[in-house]
Amino acid sequence: MNCTILAIESSCDETSAAVIQNGIILSNIIATQAVHEQYGGVVPELASRAHMQNVVPVIQNALTKANIKKNDLNAVAFTQGPGLLGALVVGVSFAKSLALGLGIPLIGVNHMQAHILAHFIDEPRPDFPFLCLTVSGGHTQIVVVKNHLEMEVIGHTQDDAVGEAFDKTAKLLGLSYPGGPQLDKAAVGGDYTKYIFPSVDTPGLNYSFSGIKTAFMYFLRDHTSKKPDFIAQNLNDICASIQASIVEILLKKLRKASKDTGIKQIAIAGGVSANSWLRSKLEEDAAQYRWTVYVPAFEYCTDNAAMIAMAAHFKYINNEFVTLQAGPIPRLAL
Ligand code: KG4
Ligand code: ZN
């Protein structure tokens, strides 16, 4: 069976297109939207407008780089959700028009499932079942991955996502958007034991990040009211401390999930899986608890269409298509 799929990702602030052929990624083009930087966060309407501008050149680039003509395609895939409504609409509409024009099937992909399936782009690929800590700007989940398309969420955040916690704390420190990667960089070599931030105890495998965010806000207010240059003088240690506290919240529940389920194959996925402290602490836990850990390549951590293409490949094999009536589903569950 020959299977060549074009995949489009437009759920948030990256416009991306990828081509996959028989499970091998041939191209993965990403246009990051710089327009949001000046606002310190993603502005939904500006995201939609930027997707409108980027979608055609990004797709043309992806096809050219893959050396694939439109007529060679067997299917078109798009991110159906979760994501911003107006952003999703751009990718969905383009994919539908192309599928209609070429007379080929259409595949709707769950963005969070795709983050997990990014682990199947390259070796080493996890064995089933495995646990995936899925950490992004909008989600924080512990997922039991039973096979390529069957997944069960066993823990989730009750309030903010961990990416939001990183971005909001970074913003309070005056770091530029997107805050997560800036905070990660500013933390390098800092004393992560210098400041302690309390975390809220949550039931079972669920998470909460609103408490630590508020505690951090009061911590900065108290210190800067006494010493206005407190942040500038201690940025390195503050970043290392808050980062270590947030990562410990993530890993505490992941350890419990592994103990409860007996699963020792552990993966991380989503934008926050690029975090260097999370990666190094996960390796330490792997040694201590005899886990086999899977960390995606940096290029497949944050939003990209290669992961959408990988998910589409498995859906194509499984004959899972959507009709031309399909629309975006901003709150699509896993
Ligand atoms: O998966 P993603 O690209 O988009 C969503 O689906 O949300 O995740 C974006 C999130 C942002 O909150 C960003 O700050 C965070 O991932 N992020 C990081 C790092 N790189 C990206 N957070 C902490 N450390 C990083 N190195
Ligand atoms: Zn994402």
Domains of the chain, residue spans = 4-116+301-317, 125-296
Residues facing residue 131 across a β-bridge = 144, 266
H-type alpha helices, 174-229: 179-187, 210-226
Q: Does ligand 1 have an atom closer than 6 angstroms to the CB of 296?
A: no
- CATH 3.30.420.40 assigned to 125-296: yes
How far does residue 193's CA lie from ligand 2's centre (Å)?
30
DSSP per residue, 120-150:
GSSSSPPPSSEEEEEE-SS-EEEEEE-SSS-
Those residues with Cβ within 8 angstroms of residue 204's Cβ, 6 or more apart along the chain or in another chain = 155
One digit per residue, the tens of pLDDT, for the chain of length 334 reads 789 999 999 999 999 999 999 999 999 999 999 999 888 889 999 999 999 999 999 999 999 999 999 999 999 999 999 999 999 999 999 999 999 999 999 999 999 999 999 999 999 999 999 999 999 999 999 999 999 999 999 999 999 999 999 999 999 999 998 899 999 999 999 999 999 998 888 999 999 999 999 999 999 999 999 999 999 999 999 999 999 999 999 999 999 999 999 999 999 999 999 999 999 999 999 999 999 999 999 999 999 999 999 999 999 999 999 999 999 999 999 9
Report how far ligand 2's centroid is from the alpha carbon of 303 (Å).
5
- Ligand 1 atom having least distance to the Cα of 139: 7
Torsion over CA: 75, 79, 80, 85 (sign):
negative
4-116+301-317: which CATH number, 3.90.1150.10, 3.40.50.300, 3.30.420.40, 3.40.30.10? Answer: 3.30.420.40
What pTM was estimated for this model as a whole? Answer: 0.96
DSSP label at residue 328: -
Which phi-psi region, left, alpha or beta, contains residue 88 (left: φ > 0; alpha: ψ -120 to 50)?
Answer: alpha
Return the structure tokens found at 124. Answer: 């080493």
Indicate if 125-296 has the same CATH topology as 4-116+301-317: yes
